[in-house]
Structure 1
């Protein structure tokens, strides 16, 4: 008798990455998706590979919100389906 085949693993919903101000200009878009199952530092590497050094410079100094909450730990796992807001430093306020 053979063991039953486990059901296929459900795919995790993707991350939504939203860009604001200078990050939007550097990425050339307002929003995009990325695959789930990663940490913020891994996502930053992927976004740099997609968009180049101009965005990389912004990401180095940006703040990140994960589902509306400031993320200080770039090594923490990102929840599947999360919305990541990329906020570059803002002048004047």
Structure 2
């Protein structure tokens, strides 16, 4: 059972890819740990400040299990105006 992780802006640059798959059924905190293990400290810095959407809805409870087939968007802080 998989989910899709999509990276935007600085998260995409830090991960070195626009998207990837990961195992579903774990929490967002556990997913973040896995992504940091895969991609290193550069992504860890971005993820500390990032917001996350799960199937287009802001995720505020980072301990809730992520469902199979979900799409998790990683949104770093955006600058500009």
C-alpha separation in 2, matches of 1:35 and 1:54: 22
Using the size of structure 2 for normalisation, the TM-score is: 0.97
Tell me how many residue pairs correspond in the alignment.
81
Q: Over alpha carbons, which structure has the higher Rg?
A: 1
Higher-strand-fraction structure = 2
**SS, match of residue 18 in structure 1:** strand
CA root-mean-square deviation: 0.7
Unaligned ranges ≥5, structure 2 = none
Matched, 1:38 2:20: no
Structure with greater contact order relative to length (CA < 8 Å, sep ≥ 6):
2
